[in-house]
Structure 1
C-alpha cells in the first residue's frame, strides 16, 4: 500500500478517535486491572416496558421508607416480627379480598402448618402444594405465608400447605429444611411424590432449592415440580445483581467488594455452615442439580436475586432439567407480593400453569 494512503488512513483514524473521545462523557465507567468496574452515579428512570401500575408503584418509592428488613430498629426479634406483620396487614387483607380462601391452622409431621384451600371447597384432591414462606429465615410467617399462598390456591384450585419452619435467631440451618422435609414425608402418606409441588419466595425460594437437594440425599423421592421465586440455588446476595440493585433498588445493602456482607439479614441462621455445600448451593454441584424436578424461577431486573436466578436456570438447562425463567421488567425482589401489578398476575398464572403441567 502506498505510504501516502497509509498516512491518510492513520490521520483519519486519529481524528475520528479524538472526536469520539470528546463526545464520551467523562463520567463513563472505568476498569481496574483485576476487572473491577468503577461505576459512575447515574439516574435510572422508570422503565417504559413495565406496566403503568408498576411505574406508579415505583413513583411511590419516594414516599415510602425502604429497607425495613435491614434497619437496626427493633433489634428484638419478636418486635421485628410484629412490626413486619403490621406493615404487611393491608396487603394480606387485599389478597383475601381478591383471592377468597379457607384458612386452617394445623400440624403435619409435628410441624405447625397453615392449610389454604379455595373458598368454594373445590380443589384437586390428588395433588398438593407446599409453600415455604419468605422472610430472611427470621420473620414473616403470619403474613408472607398468606400473601404467597392465597393467589395460587384460589386460581389453581389447589390445597396449599404453608410450613411454619424453624427460623433464626432461635435456630440454625438445617432446621428449616428439616421441617419442610418432615411435612413432605408425612404428605407422602396421602399423595404420590410426583403430585407434590413446592414453592416459595425469597428465603422460601432458597429453601425450596435446598429441599430439592435434600430429599434424594436423605432417601426421599423427589418432588414433582418446584417454584423458586426471588431466589436461586446458590447463596443469597451473590453475583452482579447484589451489587447493582443495592444502588438501583435499595431494598437490600450490597456486599463488600470481597463478597462479605455488612448486615446478616438471617441473624446467624447459616452460622457454621458451608454456603457452597450441595444443599445450600445445589446449582454449584452438577450431580445434585441434575436430579432436580421441573422448575419455574422468577426474578426481576431490579432484584438482588437476579444473578442467582439466572445462574440456577442456566445450570438446570445444562443438566437437561426442564427450567423456565421469568424476569419481570423493572421488578424488584418478590414482586408477586403486590397483586395490583399485571406482572404479578402474570406470575401467578405462570405458577399455576407450571404445576398443572408437571404434577399430572
Structure 2
C-alpha cells in the first residue's frame, strides 16, 4: 500500500465540492457531475428495465451468460443513479466476468422508505420469474446501496423467496440509528462526511419513520438465513461500525461472512482504482468471492 496514494486520495476528497447545503436537486446535479465516469472499455452498456424500474445492463466481453449481479448504487437514498456508478459496476462486471444490472430505484424525499426496498425486492423477484436460478444471482451495492442490498435480502426472505448466491457490500450504510462508535471516533479522519451530512440523508429517506426498523437498519436485524456476504470498508469512515456490526450480526446468525477493513482508506474507496492500487485489489477480491459463491450455490439444492 502506498502512503502517498492514500494521502493523495484523502487530499482530493477533502477538496472536492461539498453539497450538504444544496437543495436536493442541486445535490443530485453535483453528484452526477462528480461521478461522470463511463464504464471501462470492454463493457457493453444498455438501457433496460427490471422490476418496473429503469436500469442499466453492463455486460463485459467474455461474460458468463448464466450469472448476473443485481447492483444497487449508493448516494444516501437521495442522490446517485446507475449512470453515476457505471464505472464502479462496470469494473466489477469486467473483473468478475459477469453481467450486472444496476437498478434505478426510487429516491427520497419524493419516495421515502420503504420505496427503495420495494424496488429492490421487485427487481430480484423479476430475475427469478425470468427463470434465472437463484444460484446464478448475486447482489452488490455501495454505501446506501450496500444497506439496501441487505434489506432486499431480508425482504426476499420474508416473502419466502429463495436466497441468491451471495452479496458484495462496499462500505454499507446499514445502521440508520447512527449509533456506531465510529460516527464520533472517525470524525476528522473521514475526508467525505461529517455527522450532519448523514443525518440529512436519513431525514430525507425516513421522514418520521423508525430508524431501527430492520429494513432501514439491517445491521440491527436478525440476519438468519442470508447467503454468504463479503463486506469491505475503509478504516477512515464514519460508517466503519456499520460494516463491523453488520458482519458481526451475520456471523452470530450463522451466515458465512467475510469482513475486510482496508487501513487508511475512505468510504467506498473502490471508486478510485486510478488513484489507489487497493481499490483494484478490493474489486479483485469481490470478483473471487462472486465466483466462489456462484460455484458453491450451484452445487447445493436451492433453499428459501
Decide: shared fold, TM above 0.5.
yes
Q: CA contact under 8 A between 2:176 and 2:202: conserved in structure 1?
A: no
Q: Is the 8 A contact 1:103 1:116 kept in 2?
A: yes
State the Cα distance separating 1:209 from its structure 2 match. Answer: 1.2
CA RMSD of aligned residues (A): 2.0
| Residue 140 (str. 1) matches residue 140 (str. 2) | no
Distance 1:202 1:280, change over 3 A: same
**Which residue number corresponds to residue 359 of structure 1?**
294
2:175 counterpart residue number: 234
Task: Return the alpha-carbon distance in structure 1 between the equivalents of residues 173 and 82 of structure 2.
Answer: 24
TM-score, normalised to structure 2's length? 0.89
Separation of aligned partners in 1, 2:13 and 2:46:
35
| Structure of higher RCO (CA pairs closer than 8 Å, 6+ residues apart) | 2
Q: Secondary structure at the match of 2:167?
A: strand
Corresponding residue for residue 129 of structure 1: 69
The one of 74, 92, 103 equivalent to 1:163 is 103
Partner residue, 2:58: 116
Query: Quick one: distance in 1 between partners of 2:11 and 2:174?
Result: 32
Q: Is the 8 A contact 2:73 2:82 kept in 1?
A: no
How far did residue 61 of structure 1 move? Answer: 5.0
- 1:175 equivalent to 2:92? Answer no
Unmatched segments (≥5 aa) in structure 1: 1-48, 256-260
The CA distance in 1 between the partners of 2:27 and 2:136, in whole Å, is 36
Aligned residue pair count: 293
Moved over 4 A (4+): none
> Which residue in 2 is equivalent to 1:149?
89
Asked if 1 retains the 8 angstrom alpha-carbon contact of 2:76 and 2:198, the reply is no
- Name the residue aligned to 2:302: none
Map 1:196-345 to 2 at 5 A: 196-231=137-172, 233-235=174-176, 237-254=178-195, 263-285=199-221, 288-340=222-274, 341-345=276-280
CA contact (8 A) 2:180 2:241 kept: yes
Specify whether residues 101 and 54 from structure 1 end up closer, same or farther in structure 2 by C-alpha distance, changes over 3 A only. same
Aligned to 2:21: 72
In the aligned structure 2, how far is the partner of 1:323 from the partner of 1:183? 24
Change (3 A) 1:305 1:274: same
Q: Contact between 1:297 and 1:326, CA under 8 Å: does it hold in 2?
A: yes
CA–CA separation in structure 1 for the residues paired with 2:199 and 2:7: 29
Instruction: Summarize the alignment of residues 31-70 of structure 1 with structure 2, pairs less than 5 Å apart.
Output: 50-61=2-13, 64-65=15-16, 68-69=18-19
1:112 to partner: Cα distance: 0.7
